[in-house]
Structure 1
Amino acid sequence: MERTGRMETITYDCIREAAARLKGAAHRTPVMTSRTLNKQSGREIYLKCEQFQRGGAFKFRGAYNTISRMTEEEKQRGVLAYSSGNHAQGVALAARLSGVPAVICIPTDAPPVKLAATRETYGAEVLTFDRLTTDREAFGRQVAEERGLTIVPPFDHPHIIAGAGTVALELLEEVPDLDAVITPIGGGGLLSGTSIAAHGWNPKIRVFGAEPKLAADTYRSLQEGKRVSIDPPSTVADGLRATTPGVLTFPILQSHVENVVLVTEEEIEDAIRFALLRLKTVIEPSAAVALAAVRKGALPRDCRKVGVILSGGNIDPSLLAQLWEREATKI
């Protein structure tokens, strides 16, 4: 990492270093194509499938990259994360693999499948909070200070961002001549890492983000040229419910991202159904946001060869059942 004033600058070399650290720990996830999707969109679409990553989402990459760099003293004391689900699972799994105790702060309305995996499958201690009335960062900091734990933040950390950037690096190693790449946006860690990886690979690659209309904090922030905060959003994309871009991620997005596409809740749900019925794969609502943006034709027409990062597959089974029932009524 390079330091500029008090800020750490994440470089392309940082992402390559993270990739080396993750080798053998993270899965190298597949890249899928679909003739139906290509025909619908009028482009060549390459889907990087992080739903097949350990923990079911890209978050494992940043968590493992961060925990693996900690000192032995820090590892012995343990780590803490606050998350709606995927980062929780990523940290819990990375901590277990590293022999590190983990405490995870999860909102009470997080999908039960994510909470159960964090507690039962990966063995972390789980503390819950009401995201509508409690500041999750303040809650996490208080617990960490009381117990002497090291916080592993969900997106606003250089090692988290570098780990997330390895997704795009792998995609570009497999499809080196992409015109553009698009990812969903929560706090901006995935898009930040993706943009640095893409422009380190080829400065001409165009970088886009996708966000729910109900959680458009990054879109508004980029429009206004400053970090904007919104009320806790009610979008079905539970992993994208951040209320403001990160201090570290926002200037990266300002420098690298061409545009943010907004999608509706209906478009998100339709993208989940499309993935299930046409791609034969299960993705969660947050991952569906980027797919929805491509399906609606929101990218410039001269972006002919596009990489889409499907960020995860940890969908609540009850939500999937509801979407299926709605689809069945149309038949």
Structure 2
Amino acid sequence: MKKIIKQILTSRVYEAAVETSLDEAVALSLQTGNRILLKREDQQPVFSFKIRGAYNKIAHLDPSERERGVIAASAGNHAQGVVFAARKLGLRAIIVMPVTTPQIKIDAVKRYGGEVVLHGDNYSEAAERAVELVEKTGMVFIHPFDDELVIAGQGTVADEILRQNPGQLDAVFVPIGGGGLIAGMAAYIKSLRPEIQVIGVEPFDSDAMDRSLKEGKRINLDWVGVFADGVAVKKVGKLTFDMCRQYVDEIIRVSTDELCSGIKAVYQSTRSIVEPAGGLGMAGLLKYIRSTGCSGKTLVAVNSGANMNFERLRYVAERTLVGEQQEALFAVTIPEKPGSLKRFCHDMVGDRNITEFNYRFSSRKEAHIFVGISIRETSERKVFSERLIEAGYHNIDLTENDLAKTHIRYIVGGGSSELKGERIFRFWFPETPGALVRFLDTTKGQRNISLFHYRMQGGDFGRVLIGFECGQDAAGELEQRLDRLGYRYLEETHNLAYKLFL
């Protein structure tokens, strides 16, 4: 601890980074009965805290290392921090990025004078290429999180928070990817103010640190979520794991919907549009308040970055209502006879706002409705379902059904009696030219594609729903082809939303 504290206090981050503000979210504070503060790392020159650790590491290189130049693997904020620091210090910088990297991020690296090498479909493959280039060129590899000087640079965020708010401070909520930010912050806070809780926040689908701490060793995730790409790390660092095990009090995991709600809360408080990873701190803070019912606390959420792709905002807006527990989605079966739809809307929906409505004829006896309604709290979902049952309407709560939220609500349409043995899969396609052709080449054979629905998410991957008419295919043969393809996929053939509406 003494070593890391000294490195934080003697860091060189302010040669490139700025001291960001600690702003109160006034309306949210009044609404929750707590004092809520936002640490605004979106105010950095590269709109992310990553400049702190990258610059501190590069600034400490000796003359011979500087002469060789630096290299890093990153598809996001670390890349921009490295090239910004390298340009300021007059060093050559190469960034290896996955071929799935959006053009806006590639352009940002080039704008700061970095050389871009595109390789692989994900960070792991890009990192492997970076290591090969290090061996070939002798350049210095700048790790995004598992390095003492990088961790110390990120730890300066905590130093600023304690100086900017020297009074009551109950908890700090910090996003976790590889763990560099929270490791540096937690070590510093616990050395000076051990009574302050340091709480990490991870998405459910990128929770490598939470799982590692529970297992007592670093684990490697088979796959990571693609929405909060800034924290999509399969394996946390050795240094960061050891420090988190010592100094972090708790980790809160949040869903995509809760994360979108956090992004909206930051926007309403600051008018800053943060990237998904940047909204994690706020999402965790809000979930903490909901779960504990606390009041009178002073809570800080770290807004870690604001490099948001504009195209992603549509997806965020769609998922926010569920994340805020203001929308519930239901599949409802109604009689197929005159007046039944009007009766349902009048008697069941009543004065609630309808946020989504899809109607599909099923048979001469019944029809299926996909309906979204406004609610004020989660308990209303159960009440609404019970009212439907009492009135004779069979219903299924789809609020937590990701297939329904991502695809079904946009393509309600029923199936065909001529289809034989249809199987449904969700895929995450890399947003690169040729991704669909590669898929078709790998899966070609006797199977007919019976359904195809694509949803652009504004990130490195697109969400695709595909149906195959499999007939009497040998068991496991299709999965073998899909595994060779290398795209993440999930079968949804037995999902009730699919059975009802597709």
Question: Per the alignment, do residues 190 and 133 of structure 1 end up closer, same or farther by CA in structure 2, a change over 3 Å counting?
Answer: closer
CA RMSD of the aligned region, Å?
2.2
Per the normalisation by structure 1, the TM-score is 0.90
- How far is 1:193 from its partner? 0.6
Matched, 1:175 2:165: yes
Which has the larger strand fraction? 2
Query: Comparing both chains, which one has the higher relative contact order based on Cα–Cα distances under 8 Å and sequence gaps of 6 or more?
Result: 1
What are the Cα deviations for residues 241-279 of structure 1, in whole angstroms up to 9, with x where unaligned?
110110111010000011100000011112212222343
Q: Which of 137, 162, 165 lines up with 2:152 in the alignment?
A: 162
Q: In terms of mean alpha carbon deviation, does 51-60 or 277-286 score higher?
A: 277-286
Taking the TM superposition and a 5 Å limit, the aligned residue runs for 1:204-219 are 204-219=195-210
What are the Cα deviations for residues 43-90 of structure 1, in whole angstroms up to 9, with x where unaligned?
211111001112110000011101111111111110001112100000
Contact 2:98 2:123 in 1 (8 A): no
Residue identity matched to 2:56:
N
In structure 2, what is the equivalent of residue 6 of structure 1?
Answer: none
- How far is 1:133 from its partner? 8.9
Question: Per the alignment, do residues 294 and 10 of structure 1 end up closer, same or farther by CA in structure 2, a change over 3 Å counting?
Answer: same
Secondary structure of 1:251 counterpart: helix
What are the Cα deviations for residues 179-231 of structure 1, in whole angstroms up to 9, with x where unaligned?
22110000000000110121122122211100000101111111111111102
In structure 1, what is the equivalent of residue 214 of structure 2?
Answer: 223
Question: What is the alpha-carbon distance in structure 2 between the residues aligned to residue 250 and residue 87 of structure 1?
Answer: 19
Contact 1:40 1:295 in 2 (8 A): no
Contact 1:132 1:232 in 2 (8 A): no
In structure 1, what is the equivalent of residue 131 of structure 2?
Answer: 141
What are the Cα deviations for residues 27-50 of structure 1, in whole angstroms up to 9, with x where unaligned?
111111112221344321111100
Question: Per the alignment, do residues 266 and 112 of structure 1 end up closer, same or farther by CA in structure 2, a change over 3 Å counting?
Answer: farther
Question: What is the alpha-carbon distance in structure 2 between the residues aligned to residue 229 and residue 302 of structure 1?
Answer: 38
Question: What is the alpha-carbon distance in structure 2 between the residues aligned to residue 134 and residue 261 of structure 1?
Answer: 25
What are the ranges of 5 or more consecutive residues in structure 1 without an aligned counterpart?
A: 3-8
Residue identity matched to 2:309:
D
Question: Per the alignment, do residues 10 and 37 of structure 1 end up closer, same or farther by CA in structure 2, a change over 3 Å counting?
Answer: farther
Larger radius of gyration: 2
Question: Per the alignment, do residues 283 and 156 of structure 1 end up closer, same or farther by CA in structure 2, a change over 3 Å counting?
Answer: same
Question: What is the alpha-carbon distance in structure 2 between the residues aligned to residue 326 and residue 241 of structure 1?
Answer: 19
Q: In terms of mean alpha carbon deviation, does 135-144 or 207-216 score higher?
A: 135-144
Q: Which of 122, 137, 141 lines up with 1:151 in the alignment?
A: 141
Residue identity matched to 2:115:
E
Question: What is the alpha-carbon distance in structure 1 between the residues aligned to residue 101 and residue 298 of structure 2?
Answer: 35
- How far is 1:321 from its partner? 4.3
Question: What is the alpha-carbon distance in structure 2 between the residues aligned to residue 303 and residue 157 of structure 1?
Answer: 37
Residue identity matched to 1:87:
H
Q: Which of 301, 324, 335 lines up with 1:308 in the alignment?
A: 301
Secondary structure of 1:182 counterpart: strand
Residue identity matched to 2:205:
L
- How far is 1:172 from its partner? 1.1
Residue identity matched to 2:54:
A
- How far is 1:106 from its partner? 1.5
Question: Per the alignment, do residues 253 and 327 of structure 1 end up closer, same or farther by CA in structure 2, a change over 3 Å counting?
Answer: closer
Question: What is the alpha-carbon distance in structure 1 between the residues aligned to residue 139 and residue 145 of structure 2?
Answer: 18
Matched, 1:202 2:193: yes
In structure 2, what is the equivalent of residue 293 of structure 1?
Answer: 284
Q: Which of 98, 105, 112 lines up with 1:122 in the alignment?
A: 112
In structure 2, what is the equivalent of residue 254 of structure 1?
Answer: 245
Question: What is the alpha-carbon distance in structure 2 between the residues aligned to residue 166 and residue 118 of structure 1?
Answer: 24
- How far is 1:303 from its partner? 8.3
Secondary structure of 2:288 counterpart: coil
Contact 2:32 2:295 in 1 (8 A): no
Question: What is the alpha-carbon distance in structure 1 between the residues aligned to residue 86 and residue 36 of structure 2?
Answer: 35
Question: Per the alignment, do residues 210 and 272 of structure 1 end up closer, same or farther by CA in structure 2, a change over 3 Å counting?
Answer: same
Question: What is the alpha-carbon distance in structure 2 between the residues aligned to residue 62 and residue 287 of structure 1?
Answer: 17
What are the ranges of 5 or more consecutive residues in structure 2 without an aligned counterpart?
A: 322-353, 356-373, 375-502
In structure 1, what is the equivalent of residue 233 of structure 2?
Answer: 242
Q: Which of 313, 316, 320 lines up with 1:323 in the alignment?
A: 316
Question: Per the alignment, do residues 23 and 319 of structure 1 end up closer, same or farther by CA in structure 2, a change over 3 Å counting?
Answer: same
Question: What is the alpha-carbon distance in structure 2 between the residues aligned to residue 133 and residue 58 of structure 1?
Answer: 19
Contact 1:155 1:187 in 2 (8 A): yes
Contact 1:113 1:317 in 2 (8 A): no
Question: What is the alpha-carbon distance in structure 2 between the residues aligned to residue 218 and residue 292 of structure 1?
Answer: 17
Question: What is the alpha-carbon distance in structure 2 between the residues aligned to residue 220 and residue 236 of structure 1?
Answer: 19
Secondary structure of 2:10 counterpart: helix
Per the normalisation by structure 2, the TM-score is 0.61
Q: Which of 98, 104, 117 lines up with 1:107 in the alignment?
A: 98
Q: Report % sequence identity.
A: 34
Q: Which of 76, 91, 102 lines up with 2:82 in the alignment?
A: 91
In structure 2, what is the equivalent of residue 14 of structure 1?
Answer: 7
Matched, 1:264 2:244: no
Secondary structure of 1:296 counterpart: helix
- How far is 1:297 from its partner? 2.7
Secondary structure of 1:272 counterpart: helix
What are the Cα deviations for residues 132-159 of structure 1, in whole angstroms up to 9, with x where unaligned?
5953432211011111100000000000
Question: Per the alignment, do residues 303 and 68 of structure 1 end up closer, same or farther by CA in structure 2, a change over 3 Å counting?
Answer: farther
Secondary structure of 1:135 counterpart: helix
